[in-house]
Structure 1
Amino acid sequence: MKITNILFTGRLVDELEGLLNAEEMLNGKRVRFVPDGEVSSEDLDWADAFVAFHPVAHFQFANLKWVHSLGAGVDRYMALGDRWPEDVLLTRTITSFGQKIGEYTLSYMLKEVQHHNRFQEQQGRAAWKMVAPRALDEVKVVVFGTGEIGQELARILGLFGVQVEGVSRSGADKDHFFRVMSLGEIDDSSLAEADFIINTLPLTKETAGLFDERLFGCMNQAVIINVGRGGTVDHGALLNALDSGSLKAAVLDVFEEEPLPADSPLWSHPGVTVTPHISAITTPEEAVVCFLETLDAVESGGELRNRVDVGRGY
């Protein structure tokens, strides 16, 4: 596939322009760097490649041959639904997301098992009361999503002796997991015994609202950490689970609407920790490396590890 006109937009557009132009990495290509909100219909008609985190408000395929997401998630592209042409390639960014999410997740797991909140509260009362920390090799984790990110997360946790079970669409065995269950055959007893439930799933028709009253009802004082997609979780059901004791706490980095609205009850619930979608940020440097590698593969016919199966949505 020959790519000639490339349109960049979104929050990293200035950084990408500086990096790509400084190194003259796109020599021979015609390129436009347009701020988010300023992309015109003429820009879209001109481009045969579109590079951004998500489609612009008036997005149209026009003459596009290739769309490249600057993030790992492509749910906002998939929201275009049946409009996606068969001859338009969709790729996503693959970087060190698994490592970053592993570190993010581990930080909150350690906070829990080392009783950080309890000791901070005791300090405020000048109370000296010993509570033994839990060892990580005593902890059981269920990770929803066994792709590249889920496997790297399981590998990192396994280094500390954590027993990690996985849940995936197919239930196929994957490296670093004690066992893997399919979405349709989740073992309720595994959820009941889990100390942490970690969601890395993409948002698809199968995963939308997956974490509902029934699923939360299987849990027993678990901590849920969501680094997948906000739309996979019914937040009303989550709050009910926190209030009933099925959940001990929730660490949420992704939401169906971002930024999270100021009137959301998630902000003020004592059992919820909110972070602003920072568990695996794409840096400009990483974005450039992945984009250039993908461009080379697109034009040379090489292997595309980051190609999105539009039918599946990931």
Structure 2
Amino acid sequence: MDIRNILLVSPMYKELQVLIEKEDPGKSIRFIPEEKLTQADLSWADALVSFNLKADYDYSSVKWVHSLGAGVDRFLFKKEWNDEILLTRTICSFGQRIAEYCLSYILKDLQFHDTFHEQQQQKKWEQRTPKLIGNQKVLVYGTGEIGQMIAKVFSELGVDVYGVSLSGKEKEYYTEVLKLDSHYSRLNEMNYVINTLPLTERTEKLFDSSIFSRLTEAGFINVGRGASVDEEALLQALTDNQVSFAVLDVFAQEPLPENNPLWSHPRVQITPHISAVTTANEGAACFLETLKNIDENKPLTNRVDTIKGY
């Protein structure tokens, strides 16, 4: 594949420009913010490097699209994709970042941080024994790179980590991997549920009452995609105590609208899509490595299966 002209569109285009030009990849590259993007730029480019374009553009003239994030639903979800266009994604420290993010909220729950904070405000001395993380069962939806890192981090702390995937194929660090179509019978055993799945037609609103109603006071963490969750079903599950708390980092609409009831729910913790942020250094490094592999016709470990959507 002959790549000569590259268009990089990102809010952090200036930082990326400094890092990429320092390495001198020998290409003609335009670094621009999204608001300056035009169709003429795309017509000029052989390749597009971006993260989350907010408008629809015609990519038909490019040979390669590289996502600065791990997810590619912005390019694929409910869209027609030309199979002749190569699609790759960024692989970096996402798994470690997300594992630590999830671990922090689970430890917060097990150590009764909120309870003791409330007692402090009331100047109330009342002891309560924290729970051990090694006695917990965690169910992770998605057993890819991110899910496997979560399983590794948690299993090393003695947690029984279960996975859910389309195939149900066994993987390292998991006590058991269940098929998406037949995992429901184990849901009531789980203390925590973590979603890392990409957004596809199969996973859109996957987390609805059919899943939430089978939980028993479980914590729910979503670091996958917001559109995978039926928000009304989640709110009802919180009311019914099937879900004890929810930590939500991703939403179907971002930023989350001010009138969304999730903002004010006492057992919902909201973060602004920060569980796995692509840093400029990591984004530049993965892009340059992918470009080098393309130029040298080497295998691409970050190539996206556009049929599967990930």
User: Per the shorter chain, which TM-score range?
Assistant: over 0.9
Amino acid at match of 1:19: L
Distance change >3 Å, CA 167–CA 80, structure 1 → 2: closer
SS where residue 143 of structure 2 aligns? Answer: coil
The TM-score, its normalising length taken from structure 1, stands at: 0.97
1:5 matched to 2:5? The reply is yes
What is the alpha-carbon distance in structure 1 between the residues aligned to residue 83 and residue 153 of structure 2?
A: 38
SS where residue 49 of structure 2 aligns? Answer: strand
SS where residue 77 of structure 1 aligns? Answer: helix
- Consecutive unaligned residues in structure 2, runs of 5 or more: none
1:117 matched to 2:114? The reply is yes
- Alignment correspondent of 1:313: 309
- Alignment correspondent of 1:130: 127
For 1:173-188, what aligned pairs fall within 5 Å after superposition? Answer: 173-188=170-185
- Alignment correspondent of 1:295: 291
For 1:73-112, what aligned pairs fall within 5 Å after superposition? Answer: 73-79=71-77, 81-82=79-80, 84-112=81-109
For 1:107-256, what aligned pairs fall within 5 Å after superposition? Answer: 107-188=104-185, 190-256=186-252
The TM-score, its normalising length taken from structure 2, stands at: 0.98
What is the alpha-carbon distance in structure 2 between the residues aligned to residue 9 and residue 286 of structure 1?
A: 16
What is the alpha-carbon distance in structure 1 between the residues aligned to residue 183 and residue 157 of structure 2?
A: 25
1:235 is displaced (CA, Å) by: 0.6
Instruction: Indicate conservation of the 8 Å contact 1:181/1:187, yes or no.
Output: no
What is the alpha-carbon distance in structure 2 between the residues aligned to residue 200 and residue 263 of structure 1?
A: 26
- Percent same amino acid among aligned pairs? 48
SS where residue 50 of structure 1 aligns? Answer: strand
Instruction: Indicate conservation of the 8 Å contact 2:77/2:309, yes or no.
Output: no
SS where residue 81 of structure 1 aligns? Answer: coil
1:62 matched to 2:46? The reply is no
SS where residue 266 of structure 1 aligns? Answer: helix
Amino acid at match of 1:242: L
Task: Write the deviation string for residues 134-170 of structure 1: whole angstroms up to 9, x where unpaired.
Answer: 0111111000000000001000001110000000111
Amino acid at match of 2:131: R
- Consecutive unaligned residues in structure 1, runs of 5 or more: none
Instruction: Indicate conservation of the 8 Å contact 1:39/1:56, yes or no.
Output: no
SS where residue 237 of structure 1 aligns? Answer: helix
Amino acid at match of 1:3: I
1:80 is displaced (CA, Å) by: 5.7
1:56 is displaced (CA, Å) by: 5.3
Q: Please report the RMSD computed on the Cα atoms of aligned residues, expressed in angstroms.
A: 1.0
1:258 is displaced (CA, Å) by: 0.7
Instruction: Indicate conservation of the 8 Å contact 2:91/2:302, yes or no.
Output: yes
1:43 to 37, 41, 55: 41
Task: Write the deviation string for residues 41-92 of structure 1: whole angstroms up to 9, x where unpaired.
Answer: 110100010000034524112320000000000111013612x111100000
What is the alpha-carbon distance in structure 2 between the residues aligned to residue 57 and residue 144 of structure 1?
A: 29
What is the alpha-carbon distance in structure 1 between the residues aligned to residue 307 and residue 244 of structure 2?
A: 36
Amino acid at match of 2:65: V
What is the alpha-carbon distance in structure 1 between the residues aligned to residue 131 and residue 54 of structure 2?
A: 47
Number of equivalences: 310
What is the alpha-carbon distance in structure 2 between the residues aligned to residue 109 and residue 156 of structure 1?
A: 13
